[in-house]
């Protein structure tokens, strides 16, 4: 029978961060695309976002600085997507949305690669 010990904490943190950034990216994408908003109920996505954010913050509770950075980023990106859905946008908001989406994409790619390396060792 294979050993079913819990995953090392660094794997769990990295995996959960990837999930959080993917959900935030989906939140931004959905805020700009009505068809995407219709594909999955908003309440379901928001619940996944909140649950994942809470898990990340709990996992990072020993590192106040990183925890605060992740929390600020979550709040900033989530508010941006919500503002967009509510129609309170302008050219600056559009540029900010594109920058945030690119930043999330970069983080997802980097953390996914790191997670693959962790899992391979």
pLDDT in tens, 33-77: 777 777 778 888 899 999 999 999 999 999 999 999 999 999 999
pLDDT of res. 4: 55
Q: Which two tokens stand for residue 4?
A: 């079913």
pTM for the model: 0.88
pLDDT of res. 5: 58
Q: Which two tokens stand for residue 3?
A: 């050993």
Name the residue among 36, 41, 28 with its Cα closest to residue 97: 28
């Amino acid at each position: 029978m294979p050993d079913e010990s819990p995953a090392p904490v660094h794997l769990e943190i990295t995996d959960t961060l990837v999930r959080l950034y993917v959900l935030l990216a989906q939140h931004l994408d959905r805020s700009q695309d009505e068809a995407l908003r219709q594909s999955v109920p908003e309440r379901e996505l928001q619940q996944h976002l909140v649950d994942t954010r809470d898990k990340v913050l709990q996992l990072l509770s020993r590192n106040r600085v990183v925890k605060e950075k992740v929390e600020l980023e979550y709040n900033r990106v989530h508010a941006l997507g919500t503002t967009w859905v509510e129609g309170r946008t302008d050219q600056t908001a559009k540029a900010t949305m594109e920058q945030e989406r690119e930043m999330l994409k970069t983080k997802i790619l980097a953390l996914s690669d790191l997670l693959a390396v962790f899992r391979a060792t």
